[in-house]
């Protein structure tokens, strides 16, 4: 990539473009440069953190998600991504803490319901988890591919319940296999 200088809007547009093309190397490179040029832009930092998480740079992703949340504690999508990253790496206490902050937010969104679902799942309350996940999917018009991921989780929970009939195993196995930190390219139309 050349050493062209882009403004904030151009940087975000190019990041989205690279994500749509599944060009994570270019998205990472541009994201790193854009964060240096626009350190206060939470959208750029969030996209960078998501790319870092997708390619396995979890410590850097965590740092950037936390930076987003320090700047804007109500940036629930960043908090949700961070919670999913913790969840998928067996940091359940940290994950539930982040989900709890979303669930308790006064701003009611689909993320509240998804977060409540994960909290219930962590407590092996599978019926309650499913109810919250389904309510979240009904209210989620913004990120339809996230609904697909949540539905896969529900299907996996139901399959494990039928196969094993052991709830504690279901919550551990089903969630870790079905949900990964969302790859943002799916979420930009």
Q: Tell me the pLDDT tens digit for each residue of 102-153.
A: 999 988 899 999 999 999 999 999 999 999 999 999 999 988 889 999 999 9
Per the domain annotation, does 84 fall within a domain?
no
pLDDT score at 39: 94
**Shared domain check, 68 and 127:** no
Question: Which domain does 23 fall in, by range?
Answer: 1-72
**Shared domain check, 99 and 48:** no
pLDDT score at 5: 75
Report the candidate in 1, 81, 90 with the shortest Cα–Cα distance to residue 47: 81
pLDDT score at 181: 41
**Shared domain check, 150 and 107:** yes
> Of the residues 72, 100, 130, which one is the last residue of a structural domain?
72
Within the chain, residue ranges assigned H as helices are: 8-20, 24-37, 42-54, 58-71, 76-88, 92-103, 110-122, 126-139, 144-164, 167-178
Answer whether 179's CB lies under 8 Å from 153's CB. Answer: yes
pLDDT score at 167: 43
Give the pTM: 0.84
pLDDT score at 170: 40
The CATH number for 67's domain is 1.25.40.10
Average of per-residue pLDDT values in the chain: 85
Give the total number of structural domains in the chain.
2
pLDDT score at 163: 53
Report the candidate in 125, 134, 122 with the shortest Cα–Cα distance to residue 98: 122
Per cent of the chain over pLDDT 70 is 83
Task: Please identify every stretch of the chain with a pLDDT value under 50, giving residue numbers as ranges.
Answer: 1, 165-174, 176-183, 185-189
Cα–Cα distance, 50 to 61 (Å, whole number) = 7
| Count of CB atoms situated within 10 Å of the CB of 150 | 25
Q: Retrieve residue 56's tokens.
A: 């396995």
User: DSSP per residue over 73-110, as a string?
Assistant: TT-HHHHHHHHHHHHHTT-HHHHHHHHHHHHT-SS--H
Report the candidate in 156, 175, 15 with the shortest Cα–Cα distance to residue 95: 175
Report the candidate in 92, 81, 88, 90 with the shortest Cα–Cα distance to residue 114: 81
Cα–Cα distance, 177 to 179 (Å, whole number) = 6
Cα–Cα distance, 22 to 40 (Å, whole number) = 26
**Shared domain check, 183 and 108:** yes
> Of the residues 38, 72, 106, which one is the last residue of a structural domain?
72
Burial class (CB in 10 A: 0-12, 13-18, 19+), 169: middle
**Shared domain check, 46 and 112:** no
């Amino acid at each position: 990539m050349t050493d062209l200088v882009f403004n904030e809007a151009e940087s975000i547009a190019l990041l989205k473009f690279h994500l749509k093309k599944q060009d994570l190397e270019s998205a990472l490179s541009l994201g790193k440069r854009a964060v240096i040029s626009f350190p206060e832009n939470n959208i750029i930092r969030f996209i960078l953190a998501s790319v870092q998480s997708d390619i396995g740079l979890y410590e850097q992703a965590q740092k950037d998600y936390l930076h987003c949340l320090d700047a804007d504690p109500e940036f629930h999508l960043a908090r949700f991504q961070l919670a999913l990253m913790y969840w998928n790496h067996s940091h359940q206490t940290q994950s539930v803490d982040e989900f709890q902050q979303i669930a308790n937010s006064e701003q009611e969104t689909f993320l509240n319901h998804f977060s409540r679902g994960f909290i219930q799942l962590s407590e092996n309350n599978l019926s309650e988890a499913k109810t919250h996940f389904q309510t979240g999917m009904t209210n989620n018009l913004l990120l339809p591919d996230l609904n697909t991921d949540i539905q896969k989780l529900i299907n996996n929970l139901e399959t494990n319940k039928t196969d094993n009939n052991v709830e504690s195993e279901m919550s551990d196995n089903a969630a870790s296999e079905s949900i990964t930190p969302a790859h943002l390219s799916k979420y930009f139309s």
